[in-house]
Amino acid sequence: MNRIEQTFQLLKEHDTKAIVPYIMAGDGGLDCLTERLEMLEKFGAAAIEVGVPFSDPVADGPTIQAAGIRALNNGTTLKEIVAELTKARRTIKIPLIIMTYLNPVYAYGISSFVEDIQKAGVDGCIIPDMPVEEEEMIAPLLEAAGTELIRLVTLTTPLDRVKQIAAKGRGFLYTVTVKGITGTRNEFDKELLSFLQAVKEVSPIPVLAGFGISNHEQMQTITKYCDGVVIGSKIVDLLAENNFAELADLMSIFKLKSNLI
């Protein structure tokens, strides 16, 4: 049982939900990454998703695209991010999940990437532009390394396929809440809640909802039908603004004390 499974077991025991903030590595400089991870853990993150900047981020909206550009302009590379996460793991207790597109992994070398993130203490990996049908290039290596491949489903994914995808993992199932790219939203598709409920009923692993979620009301509504939320664009904005008070308030709704882990 890795840190992701342990965390969700604790969440269930304490009858609370997961809040997983997304951070763009290198936005603001890599030298502040560990400090920001520590802050998010202190604020109650159940896990943290660490984004890798990429020049063609097909799933990202304007906020995260802009953060990625800032990170690339700072000269941020995947190798440097992995090295920084190795240092961060000395103090961070909660799960760390790396989110990267496939191209940087190819450039790194798939075997080397898996080996290095395992050494860095990374618990999960999200590759949004890699279809399930093509995951054999990396999934067995990740499994052997004890690193969870976090798979995604969307509102347009048939329920039979959801069931097949959910059966493959042991971490959590990332359910995309919108038909489009990331970015804060005031309203969600009317079918979202029924879809989340259906996904939850067929998934043997925890279900997290992500994309567009940005406030307590949305989190409270959505988590009635799943196990937690991923917050991306709103977190990125607040970090860019150094608005740590609002960030702490945003994350206060679900707080897993780090000393439970």
Give me the CATH number covering residue 175. 3.20.20.70
Q: Which residues pair with 149 in a beta bridge?
A: 125
pLDDT for 78-89, tens place per residue? 999 999 999 999
pLDDT for 122-179, tens place per residue? 999 999 999 899 999 999 999 999 999 999 999 999 999 999 999 998 899 999 987 6
pLDDT for 190-207, tens place per residue? 789 999 999 999 999 999
Which has more confidence, 208 or 131? 208
Our measurement of the distance from residue 184's CA atom to the centroid of its chain's CA atoms, rounded to an integer in Å, reads: 16
How does residue 255 score in pLDDT terms, banded at 50, 70 and 90? low
How much is the average pLDDT of 4-27?
95
The answer to whether residue 242 sits within a structural domain is: yes
Number of domains in the chain: 1
The answer to whether residue 260 sits within a structural domain is: no
The pLDDT of residue 1 is 75
Q: Report percent pLDDT > 70 for the chain.
A: 92
Write out the residue range of the structural domain in which residue 98 sits: 3-252
Does 13 have pLDDT greater than 80?
Answer: yes
The pLDDT of residue 187 is 58
The answer to whether residue 143 sits within a structural domain is: yes
The answer to whether residue 76 sits within a structural domain is: yes
| Planar angle of CA 226, 89, 113, nearest 5 degrees | 85
How does residue 256 score in pLDDT terms, banded at 50, 70 and 90? low
How much is the average pLDDT of 9-17?
93
Residues classed as catalytic: 49, 60
How much is the average pLDDT of 247-261?
72
The pLDDT of residue 258 is 44
The answer to whether residue 261 sits within a structural domain is: no
Residue type, 233: S
The pLDDT of residue 179 is 63
Would you call 100 helix, strand, or coil by DSSP?
coil
State residue 164 phi and psi, 5-degree precision: -65, -40
The answer to whether residue 259 sits within a structural domain is: no
Mean pLDDT of the chain: 91
The pLDDT of residue 134 is 93
Contacts of 109 (CB under 8 A, 6+ apart): none
The answer to whether residue 128 sits within a structural domain is: yes
In angstroms, the CA 88 to CA 28 distance is 16
The answer to whether residue 258 sits within a structural domain is: no
How does residue 183 score in pLDDT terms, banded at 50, 70 and 90? very low
Does 111 have pLDDT greater than 50?
Answer: yes
